Chain A
Amino acid sequence: DGGITQSPKYLFRKEGQNVTLSCEQNLNHDAMYWYRQDPGQGLRLIYYSQIVNDFQKGDIAEGYSVSREKKESFPLTVTSAQKNPTAFYLCASSMQEGRRVYNEQFFGPGTRLTVL
């Protein structure tokens, strides 16, 4: 089945530790995104990538880093510099043809990160 997978579903880390969240898709989508969701707020964009080996900061990139070495994979690292990392993290992807990115984004099941 085609889709987006994120692992793990729940993650607990101690304050000051870096942690990497996995995102893999087999939809053959070029564009991938990372969002965080906090209670009572809309999804906020952290980073996005429209092509392998290229990515751009979103609205709240501070304290996060990403890589895009393969089309299928877009891991997100939450560093110790992120002041409030506890949140629900969602990865998404969308189709792209040339410079045109399709509107619909498909989401993975999310990773719920709790920093103790």
Chain B
Amino acid sequence: RKEVEQDPGPFNVPEGATVAFNCTYSNSASQSFFWYRQDCRKEPKLLMSVYSSGNEDGRFTAQLNRASQYISLLIRDSKLSDSATYLCVVNFQSGGYNKLIFGAGTRLAVHP
């Protein structure tokens, strides 16, 4: 089983749609959670951290369920510029080292 699993997609949605991505992780000792965005052939960039209470940043809402080891990202009112691959990332500390484990990503394509 992969340490971080995501539906690879692609999710093809029209502008204005609401889309949700899910992610599961296997290590119950994981401490921090993130969503990164990666445009085609570019580097990943942090989109948002995911907190236990859930958090929102504009059109983006992230949720964490530690009991189910499940993370989600909701994008409302999708824009063409949201087209990218969304990486679920899980962190845990091991021997003082901050290790990030990346999912393979979910691809989103927003069309007019």
Contact yes or no, A31 B98, CB < 8 A: yes
Q: Which of A35, A90, A102, A110 contacts B98 (CB 8 A)?
A: A102
Q: Which of B4, B8, B32, B43 contacts A103 (CB 8 A)?
A: B32
Contact yes or no, A107 B45, CB < 8 A: yes
Tally of contact residues, B, Cβ under 8 A: 24
Q: Which of A35, A48, A108, A110 contacts B97 (CB 8 A)?
A: A48
- The contact string, 1 if C-beta is below 8 Å from chain A, for chain B 34-69, is 100000011111100100000000000000000000
Tally of contact residues, A, Cβ under 8 A: 25
Q: Which of B2, B99, B103, B105 contacts A45 (CB 8 A)?
A: B99
- The contact string, 1 if C-beta is below 8 Å from chain A, for chain B 94-108, is 001111111111000
Contact yes or no, B98 A43, CB < 8 A: no
A-to-B contact residues, CB < 8 Å: 31, 35, 40-45, 48, 50, 56, 88, 90, 94, 99, 101-105, 107-110, 112
Give the one of B2, B45, B87, B104 with max A CB within 10 A.
B104
